[in-house]
A = this chain, B = another copy of it.
């Protein structure tokens, strides 16, 4: 419909108008992806303090990097949705929007008169995306949720860590981020049809969908798979392995790669061992196999093995810290850090040849920075 971004990011979503009632992480992460691909995103915030995440560090001067990472390139308007005049402004924004995103607890938008049924009845081609902890249906729909709550309840903590240690939360907020990614893709998919719809994305569903091999193991056997350290639930050898000085990853995910691995390590007897002839066999006896492989790997440092294994085409790598990863030459070439109005933020992994990444973004808005101009543009008294 209407709307050219004042921020002039080019991308396949140019011309798309998104009105974004979402806060903190999952919703703003979905809409910053839309903004990065050319959409115009108008962020509606509560007056006075705005999005809670404006108070989350780290800070650069007074600017929250947490907030900037998922809100750069958006416009901000502060609205008290309990006040009729402000609610009218919200309705005027929605009337011209292609996409609405919100991540309130299920029921909150309804109580404001902005629930999906009412809004879609008035605007039948709108894509109305709700993101919540547990979804808009089911016995847990009213449970309040943040990332760690959902990670704990989804099973992903129960499958992270060693068999004899406690459950561990992945260091990334994968419940929020995976929900945001499903919302991003779901919104774009729905837009293609031209037909309006309510999109109901739950952080819980999203995280459960990531369990992969662990979920399949339970579905196959009815036995909870528990934790298996850094090993893989279906493939072996596919794990971390100790060299003389430190651990590396090795993933020999088919017979050819397993052959190349054994040959490179000088272990022809392991390659000939009938127990290890197939992936199923290797996975069943993966602890024995790991011991045999480490017997060779411990004779030389990681740097040696990474060089010779890479030369042999065996997938392997170091275990890098954040500085090495985010600060790598690969990250730089891939523009995985960009400048957003003076604040460094992660780049966009969606690299499109038809719309080369400029390598910078407009700053995240101050609270209500665009309020006056938006009230004028959307013509409410």
Contacts and interface: CB of A to CB of B under 8 A. Distances in A.
A243 interface: no
A184 B158 CA distance: 27
A303 to B, nearest CB: 14
Contact of A347 (B170, B209, B334, B337): B209
A315 to B, nearest CB: 4
B156 A211 contact: no
A84 interface: no
Q: Which of A37, A156, A205: most chain B CB closer than 10 A?
A: A205
A196 interface: yes
A330 to B, nearest CB: 4
A80 to B, nearest CB: 17
Interface stretch (A49-57, A267-275, A288-296, A370-378): A49-57
B160 A322 contact: no
B155 A197 contact: no
Q: How many copies does the complex hold?
A: 2
20 contacts: A12-B191, A13-B193, A16-B192, A37-B189, A134-B330, A138-B330, A144-B314, A147-B251, A155-B325, A158-B320, A158-B325, A168-B168, A170-B172, A173-B213, A205-B351, A208-B336, A208-B346, A218-B323, A224-B321, A224-B322
A362 to B, nearest CB: 18
Nearest to A320: B153
A200 to B, nearest CB: 4
B58 A185 contact: no
How many chain A residues sit at the interface, stated as a range, is: 35 or more
A253 B192 contact: no
A165 B229 CA distance: 13
A285 B14 CA distance: 44
Contact of A154 (B229, B320, B329): B320
A234 B322 contact: no
B210 A174 contact: yes
Interface in A9-57: 11-14, 16, 24-25, 33-34, 37, 52, 55-57
A2 interface: no
Contacts of A229: 168-169
Interface in A235-284: 235, 238-240, 247-249, 251, 253-254, 278-280, 283
Given A199-B352, A251-B148, A350-B185, A65 B216 contact: yes
B174 A170 contact: yes
A310 B219 CA distance: 30
Interface string A152-183: 11111111111001111111111001110110
B280 A326 contact: no
A233 B359 CA distance: 26
